[in-house]
């Protein structure tokens, strides 16, 4: 095996000196500070909010400006520079209208941007920075950001380069390029801790942004499982997501975002439910006003039509899989679809399974996603580790076997991937992942769809004991140990459950061993949480929580987030202490072996 590895490497390294150079380069990387990680969860189709968070990097950009130029600029100047980096095109257009000496202002702002660029590039090797630079300006930016500090010898040379860019009328493009470099290097890696889909109508746009992002992973949420299940052909999943998007007035996210034809559902609903009581299916104006395309009456009829089909299909699944243990959820009196209902759901399901755009996005979900992720000493998962009140991990059925803790997550990760191949049981189980009473992605004992629409009764949806147990550091340490994490700063990072800040809830618990970062990014939750969402930043020095708010007066997002420190590490974390560092050390070991055996 060693011989084969060496043969492959010899195609990359032509001589012994090149091997030595690579070893020296990798060893140098190990001693750099680790890059910044950005954690987001529960995006729920809010494309504008996601775009905003990417632009400001949850406060990282402002922090870098402060570190680079904090003593040289006024607060107003720092805010202006941040606004430029966030929205360079808007800033440039504004300056062209208002500036009295545009060339002078351009030169000043380029020099300021270069100082910030130098700072964000300092965590990376020069070769990695070069790869992040735009082709048109790679040489110039590389020269400028690697200028030695206080260099008198080259000061005039660098000043002439900047002046030349301005005099040649190329400042706009160069400033935009520099802003892009800063944004790219400010965050090394992004984690999406579940739920890209539903409630907002921009999920397809979010997936497009994720596909173009330089380094990202996704921990699947229950809504992601619902959409994947729909694409894999689970009809109950199709019904659930249609019902949800009717209720939240987001059918355009399905029709325009993915080009899925819902006209047959409209026709069916108008024909079959033209009369009768629709009061329990009334659509709230909280999620927007009715339009010509989505009237309250039509949405109510569509909701009733798809809900009836959903409940019948769910009855079939529960009866076919007694191991789900959900017989108490067979509440609708029938599991037999009419001929028209069957034809309708067959047609719409085919729309989801054959859709090329959705196929592309689901494939990205599979290639960049997983049920959970252990990353740089932390445990990332959307929902919970199903548990009993005594703190023991619940035994959950998958087929004829039972799994708990990490073994359950590993088994379900394989199951989702087998569902992608069309394996029948796995496709059925995608619905259980969405709403099963011991699904780690759902985390509640029931979903009260039937009682909500067909009775006047109310029924409490009880959370899994996990959500109470994580208030204890002892339990958090047990969960972390289950997943192989024993670092003194290891943390469980969850999404899924909105933190009701206005009711006094806090995102951290268990002495900061557990953090929930769902704070209401979705419009549907902002009234409950009182804020516009949480995100998390982890860099070489610690863990920082950013709280985001809406600017009600201007009907947009506030440019600045409120950031507070959750953890500061005893010493700066270097690349060699990260997962990537461990991989680099393996590469170094192989290369050293190659160097030793090179001539043989």
Share the mean pLDDT of the chain.
91
Q: Which of 589, 185, 577, 128 is nearest to 375 (CA)?
A: 577
Rg (CA), the chain: 27
Q: Which of 321, 360, 342, 362 is nearest to 232 (CA)?
A: 362
CA 128 to chain centre: 24
CA 241, 247, 250, 251 torsion-angle sign: positive
Give every strand in the sheet of 508-509, ordered side by side.
372-375, 378-381, 492-494, 514-516, 508-509
Q: Is 215 exposed, middle or buried (0-12, 13-18, 19+ CB in 10 A)?
A: middle
The pLDDT value given to residue 19: 81
Q: Which of 178, 84, 199 is nearest to 524 (CA)?
A: 199
3-class SS of residue 190:
strand
Q: Are 331 and 311 in contact (CB under 8 A)?
A: yes
483: left (phi over 0), alpha (psi -120 to 50) or beta: alpha
The pLDDT value given to residue 579: 92
The residues near 322 (Cβ < 8 Å, ≥ 6 apart) are none
Residue 43 Cα distances to 39, 40, 47, 158, 260, angstroms? 11, 8, 8, 43, 21
Tokens 């995102």 correspond to 507
Q: How confident is the model over 85-97, as pLDDT tens digits?
A: 999 999 999 988 8
The residues near 75 (Cβ < 8 Å, ≥ 6 apart) are none
The residues near 571 (Cβ < 8 Å, ≥ 6 apart) are none
CA 161, 162, 168, 174 torsion-angle sign: positive
The pLDDT value given to residue 467: 96
d(CA 179, CA 117): 8
Question: What are 194's two structure tokens?
Answer: 């579940």
Residues making up the chain, counted from first to last: 600
Could you tell me the mean pLDDT of each successive run of 10 residues in the chain, 600 residues long? 64 77 87 94 92 90 92 92 93 88 90 92 87 89 78 68 88 93 94 94 95 96 98 98 92 92 96 90 77 81 96 98 95 96 98 98 98 97 97 96 98 98 98 96 94 87 96 98 96 92 90 90 79 90 90 67 91 92 89 74
């Amino acid at each position: 095996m060693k011989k084969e590895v060496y043969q492959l490497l010899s195609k990359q390294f032509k001589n012994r000196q090149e091997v030595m150079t690579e070893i020296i380069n990798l060893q140098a990387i190990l001693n750099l500070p680790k890059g910044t990680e950005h954690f987001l969860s529960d995006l729920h189709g809010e494309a504008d909010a996601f775009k905003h968070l990417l632009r400001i990097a949850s406060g990282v950009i402002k922090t870098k400006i402060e570190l680079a130029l904090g003593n040289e600029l006024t607060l107003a100047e720092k805010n202006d520079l941040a606004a430029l980096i966030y929205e360079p095109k808007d800033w440039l257009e504004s300056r062209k209208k208002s500036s009295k000496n545009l060339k002078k202002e351009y030169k000043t702002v380029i020099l300021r941007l270069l100082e910030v660029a130098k700072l964000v590039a300092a965590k990376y090797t020069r070769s990695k920075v070069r790869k992040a630079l735009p082709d048109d300006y790679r040489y110039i930016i590389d020269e400028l950001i690697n200028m030695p500090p206080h260099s008198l010898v080259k000061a005039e040379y660098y000043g002439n380069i900047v002046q030349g860019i301005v005099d040649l009328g190329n400042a706009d493009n160069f400033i935009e390029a520099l802003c892009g470099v800063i944004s790219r290097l400010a965050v090394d890696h992004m984690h999406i801790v579940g739920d890209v889909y539903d409630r907002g109508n921009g999920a397809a746009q979010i997936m497009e942004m994720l596909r173009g992002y330089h380094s990202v992973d996704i921990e699947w949420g229950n809504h992601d499982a619902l959409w994947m299940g729909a694409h894999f052909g689970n009809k109950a999943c199709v019904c659930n997501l249609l019902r949800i998007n009717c209720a939240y007035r987001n059918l355009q996210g399905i029709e325009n975002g993915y080009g899925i034809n819902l006209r047959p559902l409209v026709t069916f609903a108008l024909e079959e439910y033209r009369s009768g009581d629709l009061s329990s299916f009334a659509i709230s104006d909280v999620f927007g006003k009715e339009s010509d395309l989505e009237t309250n009456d039509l949405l109510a009829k569509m909701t009733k039509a798809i809900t009836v089909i959903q409940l019948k299909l769910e009855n079939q699944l529960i009866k076919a899989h007694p191991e789900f243990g959900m017989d108490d959820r067979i509440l609708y009196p029938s599991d037999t679809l009419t001929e028209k209902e069957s034809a309708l759901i067959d047609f719409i399901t085919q729309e989801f399974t054959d859709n090329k755009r959705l196929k592309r996005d689901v494939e990205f979900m599979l290639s960049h996603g997983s049920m959970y992720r252990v990353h740089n000493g932390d445990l990332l998962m959307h929902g919970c580790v199903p548990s009993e009140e005594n703190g023991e991990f619940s035994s959950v059925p998958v087929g004829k076997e039972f799994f708990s803790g990490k073994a359950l997550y590993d088994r379900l990760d394989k199951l989702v991937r087998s569902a992608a191949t069309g394996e029948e049981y796995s496709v059925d189980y995608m619905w259980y992942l969405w709403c099963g009473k011991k699904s780690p992605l759902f985390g509640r004992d029931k979903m009260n769809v039937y009682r909500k629409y067909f009775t006047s009764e109310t029924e409490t949806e009880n959370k899994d004991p996990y959500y109470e147990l994580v208030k204890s550091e002892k339990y958090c340490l047990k969960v972390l140990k289950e997943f192989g994490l024993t670092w003194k700063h290891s943390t469980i990072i969850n999404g899924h459950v909105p933190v009701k800040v206005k009711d006094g809830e806090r995102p951290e618990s268990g002495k900061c061993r557990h953090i929930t970062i769902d704070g209401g990014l979705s419009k549907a939750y902002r009234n409950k949480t009182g804020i516009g969402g949480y995100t998390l930043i982890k860099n070489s020095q610690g863990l920082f929580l950013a709280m985001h708010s809406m600017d009600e007066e201007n009907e947009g997002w506030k440019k600045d987030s409120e950031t507070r420190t959750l953890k500061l590490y005893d010493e700066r974390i270097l690349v060699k202490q990260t997962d990537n560092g461990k991989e680099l050390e393996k590469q170094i070991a192989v290369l050293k072996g190659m160097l030793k055996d090179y001539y043989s």
